[in-house]
Structure 1
Amino acid sequence: MPTRLLLIRAGVVFGTAAVVLVELLSAVHLLHRATIWVVWIAAIALTAYFGRGFFAGIAGKLRTFWPGADRLERLIAVVLAGMFLTDLVIALMAPPNNFDSQTYHLPKVEHWVAQGDVGFYPTVIDRQLAMAPGAEYILLHLRLLTGGDALYNLVQLAAGVFGALVASRIAGQLGGNRRAQLIAALLFGTTPIVALEATSTQTDLVVAVWVGAVATLVLDERDRRTTWPAIALLGAAAGLVLLTKATGLLAAGPLLVWWFVLQLRRREWLRAVAGTGIVVAMMALIAGPYLWRVETTYRNPLGPDHLRDSISMQRHDPASVLINALRIGETALQTPAGPVAAGPIRALADAIGVDPDGRDITYWGATYPYTSWPPDEDRVSFPIQGVLILVGALLLAWRRSPARTYAALFWLAVLAYVVAVKWQPWGNRLIVFLILLGTPLAALWVDSLLGYRRRSVVRATVAVLTVGVVAGAAAVAVGFPRRLVGSGSVFTTSTMDERFIRRPEWQADYERSADAIKASGAQRIGLVQGYNSWEYPWWILFKGHDLVSLQSLQPDYPAPPVESVDAVVCIDPPIGCWFYIPQNWPQHKEGAVTYAIRPR
């Protein structure tokens, strides 16, 4: 079996096993460190025993690659390896410090560990419950195995490496030679948003690699009868997409429909219908328990109304979709010169009667345009890779080629995204799965340019690729909030300073409040927070203590009474701290934090 296919299948099996294990152990109240250790030791032993030949085969292929590669192929391999090795250094040295992880990605993991299951709990930050937890389930394994978050960033890094692997394989499946496959990996791995997210605890790379797995597995079935195990694997990959981030289904869905049509064309009626049932069953196995919890809590499997409405488009008329698409494209392709195309886009919106800042097509509270450069993991643009993807996808959709249908499906996924998802300042990271699907198309076109007889065309193509690589390297070197050089470098900044690098003004307030509460001997601490408050630092500062939320937006999960805690910390509350803290508890203020300790 081809090495890349075996790795991709192994990745899907691993993701499925990790998710199902969490749900099973949670259901029987055995989601504890000892249990996870036993399972992992057994899994590693079995992998080492049965995978000896496989690992030897990979080593052999790596040894034979270099002698048979030309100068450009070797250079691409060196650049890509250097990029991911640099990301590895940053991922190991920097603690998790992106904004969303402080608010909801990582606190949910701590709640799961504290209660021994992945059930819902009282909280005012309902994104901890309603946002899909696929990536966090994998983080939970690391948390239980290591007792901390030192390896958390490796999950996205692994997704970035696998994403490059998937992109290269798709390029080969579409007819690309070895050079085109390497270019696909290079384009994906050096895209600035990919390079920055590969050292974070965001979830966009994770969902992208699952979408890519669906794509490459579907492409395998174009000209053959799909076996039942292959169908189950397709369903597992789709289930992982759904459990990680539902927007990925905007691309995975059309790909699965294509597979269904291909089977019907082969007159495999029973296999197509029964296979669809298997795909749905696998998706239910993986994402069903979580979706059921969301449904029973919010009466909708997609979460509370306010969360859905803040992200999804409320207008779908052609004019609104056009303006949404133009804003998303401008933000993604923005150069260091800034949003120079925003003026004409706003003028066009006014001319066709669309408010470019309207709440029904724009994330609540956001205003278009938004500067997406210099490199920041939440917003960085990718003009070189983006243009190459769009042009390559357009040309290949027009020409008769093995990639024509795939290119059409790519454009269908793009259309589905701009119809369904509002423009938002950090929208560039939400389309990473489209980048992964599009880089093989860009690579095929770029490879054809490198084959031109005119040296000027070849030189221009190499120059463009070089600029794209430099942009990715710059993102790694000076990107925010983790960088190699400059102020805030991972080499010169302490771990705690790195954690607060986005809000350094809060660090002393958090630390002094935590020190005072710990000195009092308090063990159970109540949290009073706002919707965007940073909860995760409290879990770091109060490690070994019991933390509970004194607020809840979920009627089925009422918050515990304040009398049940020894102390209260209050930051950025929706109402004054006085509402939650008894009058006879003396309040102390440390900048943005108010805390109170139960009187003895």
Structure 2
Amino acid sequence: MMLLIPTALLLATANCYLAFYQDSGQPLRRSLLSGAILLFLFIAVSTELLGAFNQVNRPAITGSWVLYNAALSFLWFRLRKTHNASVGAIAQSWLKGLRSFCQTLGLRTVAMLVLLYAITLVVAVIAVPNNQDSLSYHLSRIGYWVQQGNVAHYASHIERSISFSPFSEYIHLHTFLLSGSERYFELVQWFCQAGILALISMIICHFSGSRIALRVGLCFAATLPIVVLESMTTQNDLVVAFFIVATAFFAFDYLKNNRLPSLYLIPICCALGMMTKGTFLFCALPFGIYLLIGMLRKQDLRKQIAGFAAASLTLTLVLNVPFWYRTYELFGTPVGTISKGNQTTFFGPGDYVSNVLKHLFLHLGFISPGNSYNNFLQSQLENVHQAMGVDINAPGTGMAFKMNKLNFNEDFAHNFFGIWLIILCIPLLFTARLSKTARWYGALTFMSFLIFCFFIGYQIYGSRLHIAFFLLAAPLVGLVFGSVLPAWGAKFLTLFLWLAALPFALLSSSHPLLSTKWFFEKVFPPINSALHLNIRIDAANLNLKQESVLSAEPGRLLWGEHWPEMQVFLAQVNARNPQKIGFDFTEASFDYAYQYLLRQPGRTFAHVRVANPSHVREDPAFRPDVVIAEKPAGQAFDYHGQRYVLQWEADGKWLYVPSK
């Protein structure tokens, strides 16, 4: 049944090609991206509709995809007849376009990109999802949706799972129900990254025909460490970045070429972007304002403003209000309360400048002997704060500041070389040969970062929230360096970026293709000691010493060094053959990991003794056969008329069973 999705994508791509793009430039990329956006829209709409009728199950989801494919097939035959097009002619046109694009990139650049993303594809297909956020809330919600047959909120100790935007998980829900497997979860972000690269290539071609600019821009985007690492996870930062970059491209494309498909794909991207992550608004806002001003300035475009604004507002509300309302019912706010700590509260312009600088310096840290480089940078940052009369850790500007060194984790990796290239772009903008619209694009990109910093405080894991900014900046980097670098300089730069990205593709700290245990036990310690890098490589540093995904069992990928203790614990649970399992968790508990390892036919899970407002969703008839707790509840407690007593305790986990 999983083939229904690629079949629908192929049909949607062919239909978009015949209907809109066969006589335009870049027809394959435009058609494929438009088809993908329409598929995303179908997933969002069908999930909410089926959920309203408690039909989120495999037969209903499969039936909806069969109907969607039937509709696309009917449209395909109609368009094919209207345009008198043959399958062979369309395939030949696509192959010709792909061959031309590869020739423009050059064999060397194509080989580097293909090898890099072949590595990440292997990991995405083989590795069990084990990102910390995914284990806590991204994936855990899927099990409860399937269990209850809808996407309504449920009682949960993990507030993020019932208050953070759900679209990325809707995609996972469909792939899970169609395939009966988690195998395709990590491909969502991987394919979104591929789509982003296609969008970046079209943005660069929109402003310039330079091959060097195209090669540098694509290599810059493809080799960002945080992007490489996230393309192998089930987080949602690349998904929302796809909609942000798409919005930027369609805005400029419409203003230049007056293509209505570009204009009316923007409302879909806005609605789905907001449905994926709230940060979409901050990054896309400057491009939306630019589009509206551009439409107002051109008389022939003004007549489209009312329809465009109505479509944007209506579609965004229709897709997002159901989830916002469900959240509002529980928390009294449509966005929940768990993310309030990330919001800024400024008491003056100095606080804002401080926040911008801390977001910037997040990427400037690096390893050095005795940590001298980071110490120097931090001292300079502290001097600036002293001159402004602002505390570097002022309330309302985020977490306590900390300079990064070097990290291979998808939550903390930063873009050291990427940020320096962007910084170097700023003075070069005054000398580079760029068009006026390209300079406007660069200004809007920087504006998106400044708006983001106005609303979101500094976080040590903020690098992944900056993904959209770096990807928006990729065309600018390509255009600037493509105009100032000689051919040999561009080749050196792209090769350097590619070599710097390979370790992140191969040695991810959570799911490495090559064993990091060997690297951090045999190779790195002498280097660390000789250069006085002072990097911790023990277990406290996010379990750096991991086995390869090619040989590691799923349990070890999920629980790391705690897996031996977890095997004993899970054996204690399964020994009682429970049908109903209660979870008494913390906000950071690995909900999905428990579901993954304990899942059996007929077995159900539910959160019990919930202390946040979602406790009203607890089923009073639910009396679990066992309760797994990750916070102490004493020797015994009562729940729904049943007494539970402590049976087993170890490694910060407690197992409670009904008393006789």
Q: TM-score, normalised by structure 2?
A: 0.83
What amino acid is aligned across from residue 647 of structure 2 in structure 1?
A: Q
- Name the residue aligned to 1:344: 380
Q: 1:88 to 1:224 in 2, by over 3 A?
A: closer
Give the C-alpha shift of residue 535 in structure 1: 1.0
The farther-off stretch of 93-102 and 536-545 is 536-545
Q: Give the unaligned 5+ runs of structure 1.
A: 453-457
Matched AA of 2:652: A
Alpha-carbon distance change, 460 to 580 in structure 1, aligned in 2, over 3 angstroms: farther
What is the aligned partner in structure 2 of residue 428 from structure 1?
Answer: 463
Q: Please tell me whether residue 12 in structure 1 is matched to residue 37 in structure 2.
A: yes
Tell me the secondary structure at the aligned position of residue 548 of structure 1.
strand
User: Equivalent of 2:356, from 325, 331, 335?
Assistant: 325
What aligned pairs does 1:260-409 form with structure 2 within 5 A after superposition? Answer: 260-267=292-299, 268-304=301-337, 307-315=338-346, 317-337=348-368, 339-340=374-375, 341-363=377-399, 367-392=400-425, 395-396=428-429, 401-409=436-444
Q: Which residue is 1:121 aligned to?
A: 154
Structure 2 counterpart of 1:512, which letter?
V
Q: Within 1, Cα distance between the matches of 2:173 and 2:427?
A: 41
Query: Please, what TM-score do these two structures have when normalized by structure 1?
Result: 0.91
Alignment of 1:32 with 2:90, yes or no, is no
The 8 Å contact of residues 555 and 597 in structure 2, kept in 1 or not, is answered as no
Shift of the alpha carbon at 1:435? 1.2
Partners of 2:53 and 2:427 in 1: how far apart?
51
Aligned length: 581
Q: Does 1:567 align with 2:629?
A: no
Contact 1:321 1:419 in 2 (8 A): yes
| Aligned residue in 2 for 1:598 | 658
The change in CA–CA distance for 1:295 and 1:336 in structure 2 (over 3 A counts) is same
CA distance in 1, matches of 2:69, 2:126: 25
Deviations 1:45-96 (A, max 9, x none): 6667849565553333334555x44xx7221111011111111101111110
Determine what percentage of the aligned residue pairs are the same residue.
Answer: 23
2:529 paired residue number: none
- Aligned residue for 2:564? 508
Query: 1:579 Cα deviation (Å)?
Result: 4.9
| Corresponding residue of 1:475 | 504
1:254 to partner: Cα distance = 1.7
SS in 1 for 2:613: coil
Is 2:500 the partner of 1:466? no
Contact 2:644 2:656 survives alignment (8 Å): no
Deviating more after overlay: 553-562 vs 420-429? 553-562
Superposed displacement of residue 576, structure 1: 4.9
Look up the match of 1:78. Answer: 111
Per-residue CA deviations over 1:21-63 (Å, capped at 9, x if unaligned) read: 1001101111111121223345456667849565553333334
Alpha-carbon deviation of 1:578?
4.2
1:520 is matched with which residue: 554, 576, 582?
576
For 1:356 and 1:580, the matched residues in 2 are separated by: 47
Cα 1:65–1:232, aligned 2, differ >3 Å: closer, same or farther?
closer
**Deviation of 1:146 (Å):** 1.8
Alignment pair present for 1:131 and 2:164: yes
Give 1:294 deviation, angstroms: 1.8
Cα 1:231–1:530 change in 2 (3 A) is same
Structure 2: unaligned runs, 5 residues or longer: 1-20, 22-26, 81-86, 518-546
Contact in 2 for aligned 1:123/1:551 (Cα 8 Å): no
Secondary structure in structure 2 of the residue aligned to 1:24: helix
CA RMSD, 1 decimal: 2.4
Alpha-carbon offset, residue 517 of structure 1: 2.3
Amino acid at match of 2:36: G
Deviation at 1:390, TM superposition (A): 3.6
Tell me, in whole angstroms, the C-alpha distance in 1 between the residues paired with 2:440 and 2:37: 25
Query: d(CA) in 2 for partners of 1:469 and 1:423?
Result: 29
Distance of aligned partners of 1:86 and 1:419 in 2 relative to their CA distance in 1, 3 Å threshold:
same
Shift of 1:511: 3.0
Q: Name the counterpart of 1:455.
A: none
C-alpha change, 1:253 and 1:513, in structure 2 (3 Å) is: same
Whichever residue aligns with residue 422 of structure 1, its letter is G
Contact 2:221 2:470 in 1 (8 A): yes
Aligned to 1:163: 196
**Aligned counterparts of 1:34 and 1:79: Cα–Cα separation in 2:** 42
The question of whether the paired residues in 1 share the 8 Å contact of 2:482 and 2:490 is answered with: no
Aligned to 1:244: 276
Q: 2:288 aligns with which of 256, 260, 281?
A: 256
Are 2:120 and 2:231, in contact at CA under 8 Å, matched by a contact in 1? yes
Which amino acid counterpart does residue 592 of structure 2 have in structure 1?
Answer: Y
* 1:548 is aligned to 2:606: yes
- Displacement, 1:461? 4.3
| Contact map agreement 2:156 2:615 (CA 8 A) in 1 | no
Structure 1 counterpart of 2:599, which letter? K
Deviations 1:316-365 (CA, angstroms, capped at 9, x unpaired): 622112121112111123233363412221232234232223341123xx
Q: Which amino acid aligns with 1:469?
A: W
Tell me the amino acid that sits aligned with residue 530 of structure 1.
T
Secondary structure at 2:147's aligned position in 1? helix
Partner of 2:50, secondary structure, is: helix
Alignment check: 8 A CA contact 1:392 1:444 kept: no
- Report the CA distance between 1:551 and its aligned residue: 3.1
- Report how far residue 185 of structure 1 moved: 1.9
What displacement does 1:500 show?
A: 1.8
1:35-50 matches, within 5 Å, as 35-44=60-69, 50=76
Q: Which residue of 2 aligns with 1:235?
A: 267
| 8 Å CA contact retained: 2:635, 2:645 | no
Give the aligned residue type for 1:325: V
Aligned mate of 2:479, from 397, 419, 444:
444
- In 1, Cα distance between equivalents of 2:186 and 2:65: 19
Aligned counterpart, 1:199: 232
Asked if the contact 1:393/1:407 (under 8 Å) is kept, the reply is no
